[in-house]
Amino acid sequence: MRTPQYDMNIFKDRRTELARRMRGAVLILASNPHVIRNNDVHYPYRQDSNFFYLTGFEESDSIFIFRPGLQPETVMFVQPKDPLRETWDGFLYGPEATKNLFGIEEVYTIDKFEEMLPKLVKDTERLLYSLFWNTEVDKAILKTVQNVAVSRSRSNKGNLAIEDSRVVLGEMRIKKSAAELNFMRNACKASSEAHVEVMKACKPGINERALHGVFMRAIMERGAAREGYGSIVASGASATTLHYTFNDQPCKDGDILLIDAGGEFNYYTADITRSYPVNGKFSPAQKRVYGKILDVQKKLVAAVKPNETRENIQKKAIDGLVDIMMDENLLRGAKADIIEKKSFLKYYMHGVGHWLGLDVHDAGLTEIGGEPRPLEEGVCLTIEPGLYIPFDDQDAPKELRGFGVRIEDNILVTATGHENFTSLCPKEIDELEAVIGK
């Protein structure tokens, strides 16, 4: 017998707030499906973030319907109790326990969904549902919409409109509650300490995969259920590939290691990147360029405060990184022309950061009314400038070819400024050299 690991009042309060925002609509959420890895082996299961956000329920093959103002308001369809299957695959809550333990008013087995759906949506004009994520549920919903259209054809009431549920849920999720911030602090603390363990283990000859394993063990020892995304453990020229995930090469003496990895704690993830020499000692060129990037990164972190925008911080990132590119003879010409023509994209091609929370690239609009969204208290984001010089770039000085550095921290916007959740993770040159390989 399993019991919920979370306070159900958290999810009830979220549904109360969502009811205020839904304006008479009915919400339908489908759980993530299991995905085959190979033959009869599945990838490890992780619940859909929005589904978990409103219910705390972690089983697959489940559907949640929320009907504010109607009875029942909360309805769930779940897998049935099956002792034989549970012997093989583990515990299932079933309808009765789901109803009692998760505070859902009516719970049915999943095979009843298509039959009951028309009754549950007939008294609304709008459905909040994200199409194209679960094709089987899509079919049932579109069939119901068609049937409702036929039944309303003589009443002139119009058809059911389908709106993307991610918009309204994203606007709830972007500002974190006190409980969510504690989860994120735990994720960031565990991940920062795990990065230090990787630094200690790093040495010439060790394989990237081994360092990935050090990180995984360290986050799980500290309570993380899993990594929040596929970790990037990239040494040498591989660090110039933004989403390198092979993680299978030996780390060579003289190379820089870039590791982008974060643990997930109670569904909330950290997202930290550190870059440092495999042998524990920056070369003069590495030290010079890394120091310049670090200086830009610290200035960008300091800029995070209410009413600032990610767009403006991005402009500051480009301004500072272009200075480095010009100083290091990577780009030549007038700075204004380089920025206007976006020549810098050759060496810096991504955004300075993103929202962070239940997803590593978390929910929430980036623009409001066509304008960049001002930062607000309770919003979490990453700040991660970088510089990536291809190993075969004939225009770059030889000592910098194959040089990739990104420095990423996780930042909370506070009422008066910001809090750096990942300040425990070393990034100063002397701090790194004191711990790498030790």
Answer whether residue 158 shows pLDDT above 90: no
Give a yes or no: residue 3 inside a domain.
no
Q: Which of 221, 278, 276, 299 is nearest to 425 (CA)?
A: 276
Average pLDDT, the chain: 96
Answer whether residue 206 is part of any domain: yes
For residue 230, the model assigns a pLDDT of: 98
In this prediction, residue 324 has a pLDDT band, given cuts at 50, 70 and 90, of: very high
Pick the last residue of a domain from 123, 156, 172: 172
Read off the pLDDT of each residue in 417-427 and give the average, rounded to a whole number: 98
Question: Of the given ranges (127-131, 158-162, 293-297, 414-418), which has the lowest mean pLDDT?
Answer: 158-162
Do residues 117 and 191 share a domain?
A: no
The mean pLDDT value for 69-92 works out to 96
Do 364 and 242 have their domain in common? yes
Looking at the structure, tell me whether residues 204 and 153 fall in a common domain.
Answer: no
> What stretch of H or E contains 264?
strand 263-265
252-262: average pLDDT = 98
Q: What is the CA radius of gyration of the chain?
A: 25
Same domain, 284 and 427: yes
Measured CA distances, 420 to 184, 186, 195, 227, 259 (Å): 11, 13, 16, 20, 19
Which structural domain, as residue segments, surrounds residue 183?
174-435
Assess whether pLDDT exceeds 80 at residue 152: no
Q: Does 155 share its domain with 284?
A: no
The pLDDT assigned to 194 comes to: 99
- Judge if 195 and 57 occupy the same domain: no
In a domain? residue 375: yes
Helix (H) / strand (E) element for 60: namely: none
- 127 within a domain of the structure (yes/no): yes
Reduced to 3 states (helix: H, G, I; strand: E, B; else coil), residue 85 is helix
Residue 266 lies in a domain: yes
Write the pLDDT tens digit of every residue in 192-208. Answer: 999 999 999 999 999 99
Q: Note whether 185 and 270 are same-domain residues.
A: yes
Could you give the angle at which helices 94-102 and 8-22 cross, rounded to 10 degrees? 80
Cβ atoms of residues 239 and 405 within 8 Å: yes
Query: For 222-243, what is each residue's pLDDT tens digit?
Result: 999 999 999 999 999 999 999 9
**Residue among 37, 85, 87, 92 at smallest CA distance from 60:** 92
Rounded distance, CA 50 to CA 55, Å?
A: 9
Helices 284-302 and 310-327: crossing angle in degrees, nearest 10, is 160
**Torsion angle in degrees (nearest 10) through CA of 173, 176, 177, 179:** 100
CA distance 148 to 372: 39
Whichever domain contains 134, its CATH number is 3.40.350.10
Query: Is the pLDDT assigned to residue 157 strictly greater than 90?
Result: no
In a domain, 390, yes or no: yes
The answer on 189 and 162 residing in a single domain is: no
Does 379 map to a domain? yes
- What was the pLDDT predicted at 150? 81
The pLDDT, as a whole number, for residue 151 is: 79
Exposure string over 101-120, b if 16+ CB within 10 A, otherwise e: ebbbebbbebeebbeebeeb
Write down the pLDDT at residue 129. Answer: 98
- Please state the domain count of the chain: 2
Q: Directed axis angle between helix 178-201 and helix 208-221, to 10°?
A: 140
What pLDDT does residue 155 have? Answer: 66
Whether 157 and 180 map to the same domain: the answer is no
Residue that finishes a domain, picked among 141, 172, 203:
172
- So what's the pLDDT on residue 147? 87
Same domain, 197 and 302: yes
Q: Are residues 88 and 235 in the same domain?
A: no
Q: Tell me, what CATH number does 311's domain have?
A: 3.90.230.10
Same domain for 354 and 224, yes or no, is: yes
Sign of CA dihedral 321, 327, 330, 336: positive
Percentage of residues in the chain with pLDDT exceeding 90?
A: 95
pLDDT tens, residue by residue, 360-395: 999 999 999 999 999 999 999 999 999 999 999 999
Whether the predicted pLDDT of 154 surpasses 80 = no
pLDDT at 156: 63
Percent of the chain with pLDDT over 70: 99
Q: Edge to edge, what strands does the sheet with 268-269 contain?
A: 226-227, 263-265, 268-269
Task: Please determine, for residue 217, whether its predicted confidence score (pLDDT) is greater than 90.
Answer: yes
Higher pLDDT: 24 or 189? It is: 189
Q: Which of 143, 172, 201 is the last residue of a domain?
A: 172
The answer to pTM > 0.75 is: yes
Mean pLDDT of 422-432: 98
Tell me what pLDDT residue 159 has.
81
Q: What is the mean pLDDT of residues 396-403?
A: 97
Is 79 part of a structural domain of the chain? Answer: yes
